[in-house]
């Protein structure tokens, strides 16, 4: 269950381009860590490097270490597929599989893990995951309908249900509310607060109020100019970041005096 | 006091000449295709009619029109089905390799090669089939008769020329491979990154990702491509006329010496020396081909629409 992640001297490259430079950070288990910063500063890239999803882009690689409870995620004998089975991810735009029913969407990850499950066990797990994502009551009568028929907020909770169904250690969320209306956003935020009892959550957000509302720790990413690598400028408890940050750049950004 | 003035007539929208010309020509083009289709159908029906009402002994073969056309319909369908069964899995595999496995340079090159394959005229495929493929398959047919003879498909006696239904089906398979793989490649390449990443983030391997996010998405495209290929296989004339030594009746023996011919090949071979009612009989077989092609297309559409909810288009 929830594990801590220690990142040391992490450089992330796309080909020869250094996108993010020397990140050092410890992400605590059973808490929500928010990553904020302007567009293009590398916070999403950093997030995706935590479950090796950035490797989907040809030429992407890292130098440095990402260690989850003593296990080096970039060890030479580590399969990225295994990493992603332990570290779930929720994307910016809700992306339930359009060709699958709601039920099959939630079961997708469970079926991948190739365990032969009894139908009744699978039913239980799907129900538990949908309840965990606060979606069960809304969809229990139409589990066999396509997931793409739900509203945006429901689709995003479906994606969260799909991610937590496989009981990952860590849940990464890449701007999970940016495509949603305020009410759906609130539902997701409430859900995150419940989920942090069981998972380590890292969330990238452009919404600073959101970071302030839900997270325990906040990291501020910035880049000094176009073509320059992004850096983690400051990482502190959220309260401190939003009241008396150590860095001038952080204060400028959160108070809107950002140039 | 109430007034019952008629509401003022809505202002007539101004029709610009450009709009009118474009709308007219587009409508004309749309009507034209219907007229052409109706014209072809009317021609086939009117020319086939004498053969339908003619006494059975006047039809070539002497047993009536149904007995004349049935083996041809059977042969047409059999050759096309063989082609489709061989070509579709192969085409899907090629398309997946090009879109998700091959290094980019090789993928581009292979794309060109497949397109080139589509540009080869069918007479060349026919020559290749008769001169290279058929003789090369003779030993295999002998082996198949000996070891797989218990299956009705390989009952034998094996053809010594190799010009069998199976050879014709294989030539057709190679001919329809490019169109199916080109369309599959197109739809596989368009499978949304969003859903591919969703699968990968769940811990899917590349093959599992393809199964979860690419194949279901591309399914209707593959079916569409297969139906285009089937249309070509059903109507292919020259290659089959050259390769297949068609003379026999209905049989599922794929490697024998006597094979049913196909409609298109039969028309091409017989038409020059036909007169009178024989021509009408040939046209009647053409009408049958027309109906088959139509039915195949309707069926494909039905398959594609059946699960429209889950297509990903919504």
Contact B202 A91 (CB under 8 A): no
What integer is the mean pLDDT of B125-131?
A: 91
Residues of B in contact with A163 (CB under 8 A): 201-202
Residues of chain A with pLDDT under 50: 259
Share of chain B above pLDDT 90, in %: 35
pLDDT bracket for residue B157 (50, 70, 90): confident
From the CA of B201, how many Å to the nearest CA of chain A? 6
Task: Give the pLDDT score at B314.
Answer: 43
Domains of chain B: 36-310 (1.10.3720.10)
Question: What length is written for chain B?
Answer: 314
Q: Which of B105, B195, B198, B311 to mutate to test the interface with A (most CBs of A within 10 A)?
A: B198
From the CA of B140, how many Å to the nearest CA of chain A? 40
The candidate with the shortest Cα–Cα distance to B199, out of A77, A205, A166, is: A166
Q: Can you read off the two tokens belonging to residue A39?
A: 């567009």
Contact A84 B311 (CB under 8 A): no
pLDDT tens track for A34-86 = 999 988 888 999 999 999 998 888 889 999 999 998 889 998 889 999 999 99
Contact B311 A56 (CB under 8 A): no
Share of chain B above pLDDT 70, in %: 94
The burial class, CB within 10 Å (0-12 / 13-18 / 19+), for A76 is exposed
- Average predicted confidence (pLDDT) for chain B: 86
Task: Give the pLDDT score at B313.
Answer: 47
Phi-psi region of B162 (alpha: psi -120 to 50; beta: other; left: phi over 0): left
Question: What length is written for chain A?
Answer: 259
What integer is the mean pLDDT of B84-100?
A: 94
From the CA of A101, how many Å to the nearest CA of chain B? 8
Alpha-carbon distance of A242 to A119, in angstroms, equals 48
Task: Give the pLDDT score at B300.
Answer: 79
pLDDT at B134 over 70: yes
Task: Give the pLDDT score at B119.
Answer: 87
Of B205, B213, B314, the CB nearest to A97: B213
Residues of B in contact with A82 (CB under 8 A): 203
Contact B310 A100 (CB under 8 A): yes
Out of A33-37, A144-148, B119-123, B242-246, least confident range: B242-246
What integer is the mean pLDDT of B63-83?
A: 90
pLDDT at B312 over 60: no
Residues of A in contact with B311 (CB under 8 A): 98-99
Counting one residue from A and one from B, how many pairs have CB atoms under 8 Å apart? 80
Angle, nearest 10°, between helix axes B65-96 and B263-270? 120
The dotted CATH code for A5-184+199-254 is 3.40.50.300
Q: Where are the domains of chain A?
A: 5-184+199-254
Please state, as a whole number, how many other Cβ atoms lie within 10 Å of the Cβ of residue B165.
30
């Amino acid at each position: 269950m929830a594990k801590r992640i220690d990142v040391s001297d992490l450089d992330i490259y796309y080909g020869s381009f250094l996108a993010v430079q020397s990140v050092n950070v410890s992400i605590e288990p059973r808490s929500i860590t928010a990553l904020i910063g302007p567009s293009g500063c590398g916070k999403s890239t950093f997030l995706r490097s935590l479950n090796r999803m950035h490797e989907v882009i040809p030429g992407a690689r890292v130098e440095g270490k990402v260690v989850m409870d003593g296990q080096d995620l970039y060890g030479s004998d580590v399969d990225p597929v295994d990493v992603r089975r332990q570290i779930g991810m929720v994307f910016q735009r809700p992306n339930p599989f359009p060709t699958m029913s709601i039920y099959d969407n939630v079961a997708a990850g469970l079926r991948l893990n190739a365990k032969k499950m009894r139908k009744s066990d699978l039913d239980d797990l799907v129900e538990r995951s949908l309840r965990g994502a606060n979606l069960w009551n809304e969809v229990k009568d139409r589990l066999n309908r396509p997931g793409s028929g739900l509203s945006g907020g429901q689709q995003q909770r479906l994606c969260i249900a799909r991610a937590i169904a496989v009981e990952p250690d860590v849940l990464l969320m890449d701007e999970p509310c940016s495509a949603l209306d305020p009410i759906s956003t609130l539902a997701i935020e409430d859900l995150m607060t419940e989920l942090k009892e069981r998972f380590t959550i890292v969330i990238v957000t452009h919404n600073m109020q959101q970071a302030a509302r839900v997270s325990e720790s906040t990291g501020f990413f910035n880049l000094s100019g176009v073509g320059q690598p992004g850096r983690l400028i400051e990482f502190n408890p959220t309260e401190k970041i939003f009241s008396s940050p150590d860095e001038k750049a952080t204060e400028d950004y959160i108070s809107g005096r950002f140039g | 006091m109430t007034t019952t003035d008629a509401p003022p007539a809505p202002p007539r929208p101004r029709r610009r000449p450009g709009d009118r010309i474009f709308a007219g020509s587009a409508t004309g083009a749309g009507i034209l295709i219907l007229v052409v289709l109706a014209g072809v159908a009317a021609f086939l029906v009117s020319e086939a009619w004498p053969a339908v009402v003619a006494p059975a002994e006047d039809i070539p073969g002497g047993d009536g029109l149904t007995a004349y056309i049935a083996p041809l319909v059977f042969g047409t369908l059999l050759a096309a089905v063989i082609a489709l069964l061989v070509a579709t899995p192969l085409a899907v595999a090629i398309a997946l390799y090009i879109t998700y496995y091959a290094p980019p340079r090789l993928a581009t090159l292979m794309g060109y090669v497949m397109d080139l394959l589509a540009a080869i005229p069918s007479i060349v495929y026919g020559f290749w089939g008769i001169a290279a493929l058929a003789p090369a398959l003779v030993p295999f047919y002998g082996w198949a008769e000996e070891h797989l003879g218990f299956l009705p498909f390989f009952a034998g006696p094996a053809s010594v020329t190799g010009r069998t239904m199976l050879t014709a089906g294989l030539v057709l398979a190679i001919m329809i491979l490019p169109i199916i793989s080109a369309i599959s490649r197109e739809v596989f390449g368009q499978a949304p990154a969003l859903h591919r990443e969703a699968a990968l983030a769940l811990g899917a391997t590349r093959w599992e990702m393809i199964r979860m996010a690419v194949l279901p998405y591309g399914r209707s495209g593959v079916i569409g491509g297969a139906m285009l290929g089937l249309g070509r296989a059903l109507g292919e004339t020259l290659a089959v006329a050259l390769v297949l030594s068609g003379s026999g009746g209905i049989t599922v023996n794929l490697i024998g010496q006597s094979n049913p011919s196909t409609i298109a090949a039969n028309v091409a071979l017989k038409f020059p020396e036909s007169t009178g009612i024989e021509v009408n009989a040939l046209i009647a077989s053409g009408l049958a081909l027309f109906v088959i092609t139509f039915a195949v297309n309707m069926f494909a559409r039905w398959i594609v629409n059946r699960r429209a909810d889950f297509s990903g288009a919504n």
